[in-house]
C-alpha cells in the first residue's frame, strides 16, 4: 500500500493547467504561457529543446524569432515559488520539480503500485486515489495539435483507469458500487468497449441480466454507426457468456434428459469459418424467435446449423429434433409437414397408433408435448413458410433453426423470425477449408494453385468439398493440375461426388426447377452475361422485356445476390450452369437475339460514357434492337463510374462477340473503352483488344474504323515501349486517313507521332509532327484539336530547352481547353507548363502547375498521368528542400505505378 501524502499535487495537468502551492492557486497566464509549462511538466526535471517547445506550443505558426520561449520563461520566473526553478541550459528549458509534484505522474505511480498489489482492497484504494482530481478534460483551455494529442491520450488513460478500478471492485464482490458511475461514463463514451464490458459484468453480478444485455445492444449499435463494424472479440465473447449463463428457471442442469430425443446428424469434422454467423446464432439463445438460415445451393446452411447445434446442445435438456424437409430436391421427395410431425411425435414418445391423422391435430399435439420443454429443433431444407409453420412450437422455451434457399420472408414478417443470410466463404475461409481436409502442408506448398482452385469453385463450400475429395483420393496429384482441369471450362464435370447430394449440377437443378418459366428463362439467358454483376437494365435487355419481377424471384431463390450498388451477382459456377442450360434449352436464334440486345445495351452505354469523358472522335453507334434499355448517364463523374463498374463486362464481351459473328460490336466496343483503358493504364489488354478490334474493322470493311484502331494499337505498343511497332502502325493510320480525306483523323495521328518520336529522343521530328497536326486542326477550325496540337508543340519546345516558346504555346492551349471545358486537355497542359517551369529553374511555379494537373487527373480518373505528374512534383519539392512533401508525392506515385504494374 502506498503511504505517501494524499495532499493534492501542486502542479495540475489533469484539468486546467495550474500551480497550486498550499497558500495560493496561481493562474499561469495566457494559453501559450500555460502550454510552455505543460510541455515542461510532462518531463519534469528534464530539458526540452527550444525547437521542440516551439513546435509543441505554436505548431506550424511558430514566430520567426530565434527563441520565442524566452519572454514567456521570464514572466513565469517572476511568478516565483517553484516557477523560479525554471532553467535554461544546453539549448532547452526544464522545471526542477519532483515528478510526484505533478498530478499526472503521481496518478501513474499510484496505478503502478495498485497493479503490484494484485487485486486486494489496497489496490482499489490506490486506483481511487489515482482517479481523484482527474477531470474529464485534461490540459483544459490549451489549443494546438500537441495539446490535442496529449489530451486524447490522457482521456484514454482515464477511461482505462475507471474501467480497471471498476473491475477490481467487481472482483471483490461489490458490483453495485460501480454501476452508477460506469453508466454515466459509458453514456459519454458509447464506443469504449472496456467500459461497457465491466458495466455488463457489474449489472449481471447484481442480478440485472436484462440491463447487461441492453448495454451490449447499445454498444453494438454505436460501434456500427461510428465504425461500420462489430465490437471486438473480447466483448462479443462476454456477451455470449452472459447469454449462456442466463438459463430459464426450471431449465434443469443443462444436460439432456436421458429419455429426450437426440436426432442431430453428426457434426462436420472439417467445419471452417462462419464466426459471425455462429455468433448471431448464439444471440438467438436469448429469445424464442425462430432463425431462418437462407442462402444459395451448396453454401453450407445445413453444415452451419448442425455444427452450431452440436456446440449448444447441452443448453437443451429436452433434447434435439432434426428433419430434412427436402424442400429443394426431387419434387417427389419433398417431405410434407404432416410426415415431419409424425416423426417428431414418435421421437417424443407418442406410439404410432396414437398419432392423429389430420395435420391440424398433429400440430396441436406437438405444441402440447413441447410446451414447457427446452428443445432444439432443426428444420432443414424448407421449401416455403407453409411447410414450416405446423412444426413451430406454440410457446416459449424451445429454439428453432430453419434452413432454406428461400429467405421465408413470411416467417420473418408474421412469426418475427430472425433472418440470417449465409453467403459464400471469403478467400481465407475457403483456403482454410482445403487445409482442414487436405492438410496444411499440401495447401501451403501450392499457394497459387489453391487460389485458382478456390476461385474456380466460386468459394462455394460444396464445390470446395468435392474438389478436396478428389484431391484427397489422389495424394500424388499436384493441386495445380486439379486447378488446370477446373479452369478448362468443364469445371462442372469435375464437381461431381457421384451421388445426387454431392453433384453440383444436380444440387443447382433443385433450385432451378422451383422457378417460374419467366424466371427460369432469365436465369438461362444470364449464362450469356460474362459477369461478375448485372444491372436490371442489362437483364431487361437480355430478356427483351421488363425483368424486375424475375430478378426478385431469383434473389428469393438465392440464385442471385443483390449488391450494395443495386446490381445483382451470380457466382461463376451458377453462371456456368446457366450457360449450359441456355445451350441446351434455348433455341439458337433466341440466344443470338439475346446476345445482340446485350451487346447493344453495353455499346450504347459505353458510347455515352465515352462522349462525356471528352474522348477524341466520339462514336455514334447504330440504333439499338427493340427491347434494349440504355443506361442514363448524367455527367462526367457518372460516366467514369459507369466505365469502372462495367469495364470487366466490356472486355469479356469484346472477346466473345467476334466468334459469335458480331464484328461491328467488337470494333465499336474497343473504340468506346479505349480512352478509358489508357487513363487506367491497362496496356496489356489494350494490345490484345485493339488487335481484335482492328481485325474486326477490316472484316467489316470500315476504313475509318481501321485507321482509328491502327492508331489505338500504335498507342498500346508505345506504352509498352515498342517504338518501331508504334511508329509503323501510326504511319499506316495516317496514310489511311489521308486517303479518306479525314483531316481530323490525320491531325490526331500526327499528334500521336509527335509523342512517338519524342519518346524515341527525336525531338525535332516530334516538333515537325506537332506543327503538322496544328496546321490541320487550324484549317479545320477545330479549337480543341488546335489546343492539343499547341500543347504537343509546347512540350517539344520544353524538352528542347526552348522554355519561352513552350510556355507561350501551352498558355494558348490552356485558354482553349478551359473555354471548351476539356479537363483532360487542361490536365495535360498543366503538366507541360510544370515541366517547362521546372526545367527553366522555377520549381515554385512548377509546383503550382503540377498540383493543378494532379487535381484534374483525380477528378477525371486518369491514373498513369497522375503518377507521372506526382513524380515531377516530388522532384520540385526536393529541389526546394521540402523532403517531407517530396516523399509524399513520390510515395503516392510509386503506389499508383505498382497498381498499374508499370
Write down which residue in 116, 145, 172 finishes a domain: 172
630 confidence band (pLDDT: 50, 70, 90): very high
Distance set, CA 741 to CA 519, 702, 704, 714, 731 (Å)? 52, 15, 10, 21, 15
Write down which residue in 418, 442, 464 finishes a domain: 418
pLDDT digits (tens, 9 = 90+) for 138-149: 988 888 888 899
Provide DSSP, 774-808: HHHHHHTT-HHHHHHHHHHHHHHHHHTT-HHHHHH
One domain for residues 56 and 157: yes
- Please check the confidence at residue 3 and state whether its pLDDT lies above 60: no
Note every long-range contact of 220-226, with CB atoms under 8 Å and residues 24 or more positions apart, other chains counting: 222/190, 222/191, 223/191, 223/193, 226/191
Q: How far apart are CA 437 and CA 213, in angstroms?
A: 38
pLDDT digits (tens, 9 = 90+) for 542-577: 999 889 999 999 988 888 888 888 899 887 788 888
Tracing cell 486447378 back to the chain, one arrives at: 483
One domain for residues 7 and 154: yes
- Please check the confidence at residue 721 and state whether its pLDDT lies above 60: yes
One domain for residues 303 and 382: yes
One domain for residues 26 and 98: yes
Burial-class residue 352 by CB neighbours within 10 Å (0-12, 13-18, 19+): exposed
Instruction: Name the more confident of 218 and 240.
Output: 218
- Nearest in space to 866 (alpha carbons), one of 833, 837, 895, 840: 895
- Please check the confidence at residue 684 and state whether its pLDDT lies above 80: no
One domain for residues 62 and 126: yes
How many structural domains does the chain have? 5
Instruction: Determine the pLDDT at residue 247.
Output: 38
CATH of the domain at 875: 1.25.40.10
One domain for residues 469 and 496: yes
Residue 330 lies in a domain: yes
The mean of the pLDDT values for the chain is: 85
Q: Model-level pTM?
A: 0.57
Q: Which domain holds residue 536?
A: 515-586
Instruction: Name the more confident of 234 and 319.
Output: 319
Q: Average pLDDT for residues 516-533, to the nearest whole number? A: 90
Write down which residue in 453, 476, 504 finishes a domain: 504
291-294 and 376-382 beta bridge pairing: unpaired
One domain for residues 365 and 479: no
Instruction: Determine the pLDDT at residue 248.
Output: 38
Residue 753 lies in a domain: no
pLDDT digits (tens, 9 = 90+) for 316-330: 888 899 999 888 866
Q: How far apart are CA 756 and CA 753, in angstroms?
A: 5
One domain for residues 7 and 95: yes
CATH of the domain at 310: 3.40.50.300
Instruction: Determine the pLDDT at residue 309.
Output: 92
What residues does 87 pair with on adjacent strands?
94
Residue 191 lies in a domain: no
Residue 492 lies in a domain: yes
Sheet with strand 48-49: strands edge to edge: 48-49, 92-95, 86-89
pLDDT digits (tens, 9 = 90+) for 167-221: 888 888 888 888 988 999 999 999 999 999 999 999 988 888 778 878 887 887 8
- Strand, helix or coil at 323? strand
Q: How far apart are CA 179 and CA 552, in angstroms?
A: 49
Amino acid at each position: 500500500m502506498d503511504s505517501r501524502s494524499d495532499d493534492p499535487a501542486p502542479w495540475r495537468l489533469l484539468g486546467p493547467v495550474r500551480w497550486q502551492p498550499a497558500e495560493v492557486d496561481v493562474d499561469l497566464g495566457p494559453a501559450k504561457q500555460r502550454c510552455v509549462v505543460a510541455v515542461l511538466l510532462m518531463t519534469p526535471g528534464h530539458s526540452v529543446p527550444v525547437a521542440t517547445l516551439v513546435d509543441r506550443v505554436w505548431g506550424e505558426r511558430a514566430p520567426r524569432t530565434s527563441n520565442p520561449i524566452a519572454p514567456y520563461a521570464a514572466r513565469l520566473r517572476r511568478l516565483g515559488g517553484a516557477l523560479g526553478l525554471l532553467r535554461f541550459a544546453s539549448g532547452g528549458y526544464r522545471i526542477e520539480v519532483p515528478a510526484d509534484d505533478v498530478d499526472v505522474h503521481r496518478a501513474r505511480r499510484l496505478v503502478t503500485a495498485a497493479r503490484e498489489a494484485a487485486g486486494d482492497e489496497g489496490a482499489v484504494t490506490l486506483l481511487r486515489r489515482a482517479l481523484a482530481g482527474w477531470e474529464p478534460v485534461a490540459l483544459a483551455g490549451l489549443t494546438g495539435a500537441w495539446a490535442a494529442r496529449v489530451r486524447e491520450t490522457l482521456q484514454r488513460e482515464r477511461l482505462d483507469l475507471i474501467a480497471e478500478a471498476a473491475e477490481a471492485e467487481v472482483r471483490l464482490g461489490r458490483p453495485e458500487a460501480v454501476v452508477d458511475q460506469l453508466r454515466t461514463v459509458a453514456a459519454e463514451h458509447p464506443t469504449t468497449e472496456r467500459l461497457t464490458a465491466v458495466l455488463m459484468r457489474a449489472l449481471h453480478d447484481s442480478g440485472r441480466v436484462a440491463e447487461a444485455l441492453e448495454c451490449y445492444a447499445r454498444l453494438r449499435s454505436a460501434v456500427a454507426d461510428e465504425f461500420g463494424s462489430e465490437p471486438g472479440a473480447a466483448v462479443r465473447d462476454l456477451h455470449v457468456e452472459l447469454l449462456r449463463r442466463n438459463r430459464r428457471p426450471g431449465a434443469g442442469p443443462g444436460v439432456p434428459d436421458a429419455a429426450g430425443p437426440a436426432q442431430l446428424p453428426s457434426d462436420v469434422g472439417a467445419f471452417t469459418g462462419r464466426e459471425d454467423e455462429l455468433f448471431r446464432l448464439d444471440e438467438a439463445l436469448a429469445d424464442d424467435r425462430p432463425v431462418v438460415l437462407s442462402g444459395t445451393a451448396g453454401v453450407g446452411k445445413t453444415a452451419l446449423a448442425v455444427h452450431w447445434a452440436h456446440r449448444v446442445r447441452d443448453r437443451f435438456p429436452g433434447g434435439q429434433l432434426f428433419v430434412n424437409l427436402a424442400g429443394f430436391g426431387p419434387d417427389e421427395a419433398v417431405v410434407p409437414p404432416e410426415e415431419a410431425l409424425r416423426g417428431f411425435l414418435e421421437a417424443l414418445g407418442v406410439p404410432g397408433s396414437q398419432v392423429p391423422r389430420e395435420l391440424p391435430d398433429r400440430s396441436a399435439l406437438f405444441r402440447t408435448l413441447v410446451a414447457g420443454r427446452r428443445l432444439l429443433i432443426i428444420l432443414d431444407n424448407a421449401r416455403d413458410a407453409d411447410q414450416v409453420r405446423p412444426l413451430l412450437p406454440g410457446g416459449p422455451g424451445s429454439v428453432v433453426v430453419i434452413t432454406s434457399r428461400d429467405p421465408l420472408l413470411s416467417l420473418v414478417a408474421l412469426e418475427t423470425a430472425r433472418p440470417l443470410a449465409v453467403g459464400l466463404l471469403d478467400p481465407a475461409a475457403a483456403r482454410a477449408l482445403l487445409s482442414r481436409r487436405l492438410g496444411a502442408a499440401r495447401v501451403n506448398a501450392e499457394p497459387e494453385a489453391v487460389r485458382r482452385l478456390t476461385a474456380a469453385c466460386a468459394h462455394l463450400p460444396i464445390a470446395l468439398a468435392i474438389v478436396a475429395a478428389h484431391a484427397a483420393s489422389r495424394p500424388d496429384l499436384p493441386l495445380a493440375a486439379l486447378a488446370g482441369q477446373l479452369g478448362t471450362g468443364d469445371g462442372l464435370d469435375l464437381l461431381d461426388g457421384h451421388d445426387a447430394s454431392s453433384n453440383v449440377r444436380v444440387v443447382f437443378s433443385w433450385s432451378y426447377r422451383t422457378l417460374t418459366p419467366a424466371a427460369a428463362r432469365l436465369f438461362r439467358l444470364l449464362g450469356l452475361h460474362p459477369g461478375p454483376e448485372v444491372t436490371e437494365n442489362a437483364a431487361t435487355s437480355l430478356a427483351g422485356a421488363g425483368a424486375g419481377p424475375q430478378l426478385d424471384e431469383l434473389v428469393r431463390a438465392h440464385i442471385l445476390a443483390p449488391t450494395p450498388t443495386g446490381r445483382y451477382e451470380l457466382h461463376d459456377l451458377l453462371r456456368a450452369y446457366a450457360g449450359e442450360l441456355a445451350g441446351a434449352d434455348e433455341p439458337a436464334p433466341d440466344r443470338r437475339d439475346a446476345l445482340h440486345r446485350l451487346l447493344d445495351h453495353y455499346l450504347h452505354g459505353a458510347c455515352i460514357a465515352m462522349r462525356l469523358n471528352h474522348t477524341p472522335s466520339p462514336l455514334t453507334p447504330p440504333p439499338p434492337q427493340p427491347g434494349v434499355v440504355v443506361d442514363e448517364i448524367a455527367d462526367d463523374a457518372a460516366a467514369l463510374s459507369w466505365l469502372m463498374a462495367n469495364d470487366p463486362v466490356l472486355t469479356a464481351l469484346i472477346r466473345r462477340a467476334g466468334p459469335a459473328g458480331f464484328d461491328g460490336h467488337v470494333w465499336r466496343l474497343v473504340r468506346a473503352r479505349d480512352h478509358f483503358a489508357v487513363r487506367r493504364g491497362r496496356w496489356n489488354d489494350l494490345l490484345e483488344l485493339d488487335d481484335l478490334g482492328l481485325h474486326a474493322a477490316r472484316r467489316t470493311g470500315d476504313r475509318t474504323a481501321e485507321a482509328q484502331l491502327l492508331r489505338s494499337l500504335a498507342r498500346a505498343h508505345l506504352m509498352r515501349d515498342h517504338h518501331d511497332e508504334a511508329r509503323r502502325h501510326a504511319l499506316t493510320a495516317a496514310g489511311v486517313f489521308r486517303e479518306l480525306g479525314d483531316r481530323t483523323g490525320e491531325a490526331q495521328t500526327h499528334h500521336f507521332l509527335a509523342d512517338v518520336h519524342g519518346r524515341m529522343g527525336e525531338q525535332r521530328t516530334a516538333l515537325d509532327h506537332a506543327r503538322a497536326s496544328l496546321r490541320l486542326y487550324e484549317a479545320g477550325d477545330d479549337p480543341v484539336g488546335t489546343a492539343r496540337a499547341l500543347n504537343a508543340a509546347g512540350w517539344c519546345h520544353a524538352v528542347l530547352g526552348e522554355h519561352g516558346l513552350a510556355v507561350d504555346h501551352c498558355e494558348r492551349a490552356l485558354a482553349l481547353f478551359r473555354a471548351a471545358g476539356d479537363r483532360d486537355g487542361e490536365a495535360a497542359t498543366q503538366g507541360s507548363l510544370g515541366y517547362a517551369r521546372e526545367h527553366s529553374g522555377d520549381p515554385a511555379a512548377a509546383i503550382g502547375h503540377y498540383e493543378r494537373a494532379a487535381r484534374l487527373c483525380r477528378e477525371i480518373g486518369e491514373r498513369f498521368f497522375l503518377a507521372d505528374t506526382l513524380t515531377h512534383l516530388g522532384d520540385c519539392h526536393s529541389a526546394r528542400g521540402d523532403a517531407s512533401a517530396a516523399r509524399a508525392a513520390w510515395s503516392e506515385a510509386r503506389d499508383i505505378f505498382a497498381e498499374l504494374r508499370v
